Amino acid sequence: MDWTLVKGYIYFFAIAISAILLIWYIYYLYVNKARSAHYEEYSNLVLNDSLEDKPLEPREDRANNPKEPNKG
């Protein structure tokens, strides 16, 4: 095996891995589109922050529905 053939294999696998990562990233952005729906609200909250502001979302009631059991 000469050096040119080895460089060709390295180049091929680098391109293949890059293509797989690009497809995965596009899919990741497409799936998480719902999570970024409130982007403008959150960015305005950061830009116009005040102590008198109201919360954007209601706080969940952890007393009635705890996510983690008490460790005591």
d(CA 1, CA 10): 13
Query: What pLDDT is recorded for position 67?
Result: 62
Q: How confident is the model at residue 72 (pLDDT cuts 50, 70, 90)?
A: very low
Contacts of 56 (CB under 8 A, 6+ apart): 38, 41, 42, 45
Please name the helix (run of DSSP H) or strand (run of DSSP E) that holds residue 24, with its range, or none. helix 3-31
**Which residue is listed with tokens 């293949």?**
16
pLDDT digits (tens, 9 = 90+) for 28-64: 888 777 666 666 667 777 777 777 777 766 777 666 6
DSSP one-letter code for 70: -
